[in-house]
């Protein structure tokens, strides 16, 4: 039995101010898929992510989502997008993930935050400012934010850029566990990491 189709991209062209970055891209993402997307700098990896997240509109072509999926996508951004000077603590970052998707909340919000903090192993630093975190701690915090709504699709943009070798193998194990319930798209230029983790690889040139 084939897994449910979550995202169907057909002949997509996308870019900025009519400058084409992605040209005639077709791609399907299925339920419980683990897809690696790779390619050199400037090949359009981040542009493709922005189209899937609805931040960029295609110049042409189509992108179709399974019913309700637009509100059940978790996203972990690149580390250089994070302002570590912003006065916010670990638990607040994770809780902010509950407000990024306009889906109906059930149960107790505080309980969900506490469960996610425990799942990421962050109980001892839950009230620590993000500016004081190691790379691995920040990685886990942002992953917690991305998964707190139990997304059907999780997008990770260059997660290895957080560079915490001590946590890397545990992080990879976490992703493999999540993949039993969640489709994962891993954006990376690290071919070794892509091939060791993912089921399929999509290369942009």
CA dihedral of residues 53, 54, 56, 61 (deg, nearest 10)? 100
Backbone torsions φ then ψ of 42, nearest 5 degrees:
85, 0
pLDDT in tens, 57-82: 999 999 999 999 988 999 998 877 78
Task: Please answer whether residues 205 and 21 qualify as being in contact, where contact means their C-beta atoms are separated by less than 8 angstroms.
Answer: no
What is the longest distance spanned by two Cα atoms in the chain? 49
Cα–Cα distance measured from residue 9 to residue 34, given in angstroms and rounded to the nearest whole number? 16
Does 62 or 171 have the greater pLDDT score? 62
Question: What pLDDT does residue 2 have?
Answer: 67
Question: What pLDDT does residue 99 have?
Answer: 59
Q: Given a cut of 90, is residue 148 above it in pLDDT? A: yes
pLDDT in tens, 149-161: 899 999 999 887 7
pLDDT in tens, 75-123: 998 877 788 889 999 999 999 998 544 445 455 788 999 999 999 999 9
| Mean pLDDT confidence for 4-8 | 96
| Mean pLDDT confidence for 138-144 | 91
Residue 110: which residues within 8 A CB-CB, separation 6 or more? none
Cα–Cα distance measured from residue 59 to residue 88, given in angstroms and rounded to the nearest whole number? 37
Domain ranges of the chain: 5-203
User: Is CATH 3.40.50.300 correct for 5-203?
Assistant: yes
Residue 124: which residues within 8 A CB-CB, separation 6 or more? none
Cα–Cα distance measured from residue 186 to residue 37, given in angstroms and rounded to the nearest whole number? 6
Provide the mean pLDDT of the chain: 88
Most confident of 76-80, 117-121, 182-186, 191-195: 182-186
């Amino acid at each position: 039995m084939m897994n449910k189709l979550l995202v169907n991209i057909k002949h997509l062209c996308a870019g900025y101010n009519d400058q084409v970055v992605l040209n005639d891209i077709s791609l399907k993402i299925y339920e419980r898929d683990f897809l690696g997307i790779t390619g050199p700098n400037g090949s359009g990896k981040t542009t493709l992510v922005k189209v899937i997240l609805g931040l960029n509109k295609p110049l042409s072509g189509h992108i179709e989502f399974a019913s309700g999926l637009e509100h059940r996508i978790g996203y972990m951004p690149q580390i250089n997008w994070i302002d570590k000077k912003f006065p916010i603590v670990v638990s607040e970052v994770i809780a902010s993930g509950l407000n990024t998707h306009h889906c109906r909340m059930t149960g107790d919000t505080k309980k969900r935050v506490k469960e996610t903090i425990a799942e990421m192993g962050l109980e001892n630093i839950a009230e620590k400012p993000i500016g004081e975190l190691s790379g691995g701690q920040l990685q886990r915090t942002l992953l917690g934010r991305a998964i707190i709504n139990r997304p059907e699709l999780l997008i990770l943009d260059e997660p290895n850029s957080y560079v915490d070798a001590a946590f890397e193998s545990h992080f990879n194990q976490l992703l493999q566990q999540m993949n039993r319930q969640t489709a994962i798209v891993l954006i990376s230029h690290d071919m070794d990491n892509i091939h060791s983790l993912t089921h399929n690889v999509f290369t942009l040139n």
